[in-house]
Amino acid sequence: MTNRLILALSCLWLSSNTYAQMERTVYQVFEVDSVQTVTLDIINFTYPELHIWAGNNILTEANIQLWDASPEVVNHLIDKGRYAFESDKTGETLRIFTKIRQREDIKMPGMRSKCVEQTTIKVFVPDIYEFDPAEWTAEQIDKPKTLRRKTTE
């Protein structure tokens, strides 16, 4: 009797729809060529960070963490562009912006509450640009940031 009870409980436990935390990182590269001004219009990311590097391009690194979601759900959201960026170049100005501006809550079928989502973004900018540190404070999270090419004197 005890063996049957253990077997039944094990089957119930294995068939439950509990998911652990899923984490993925998505990278995108944007060429800057001779761009003088870059506007970063990044919204819906919890912790935006700016890093200066010796590269020739702008690199975005989006880290996605979802609780109570399956790997398939995370892959689907990434494939649909939920964490993607697009760019628009006009003359000597490049605008990099969040592709999906309005994100709906993620709710799995059969669950009472929504999935907890945390997204962070790191933007790696070539050292030929300067920025205003005041634009990168917590109060400025969803506001556009401007990078300007350094002048050589």
What are 36-59's pLDDT values in tens digits? Answer: 999 999 998 887 899 999 999 999
pLDDT at residue 3, rounded to an integer: 61
Per-residue 3-state assignment (H helix, E strand, C coil) for 23-91: EEEEEEEEECCCCCEEEEECCCCCEEEEEEECCCEEEEEEEEEEECCCHHHHHHHHHCCCCCEEEEEEC
5: in domain:
no
37: in domain:
yes
In which residue ranges of the chain is pLDDT below 70? Answer: 1-20, 108, 111, 153
pLDDT at residue 15, rounded to an integer: 45
3: in domain:
no
pLDDT at residue 14, rounded to an integer: 45
Q: For residues 24 and 82, what is the distance between their CA atoms, to the nearest angstrom?
A: 13
The residue segments making up the domain with residue 110 are 19-149
14: in domain:
no
CA distance readout (Å), 111 to 20, 75, 114, 120: 14, 19, 7, 25
7: in domain:
no
105: in domain:
yes
At residue 151, the 3 state secondary structure works out as coil
Structural domains in the chain (count): 1
- Phi/psi class of residue 73: alpha, beta or left (left: φ > 0; alpha: ψ in -120 to 50)? alpha
pLDDT at residue 94, rounded to an integer: 97
Q: Specify the DSSP class assigned to residue 111.
A: -
12: in domain:
no
Tokens of 138: 């917590």
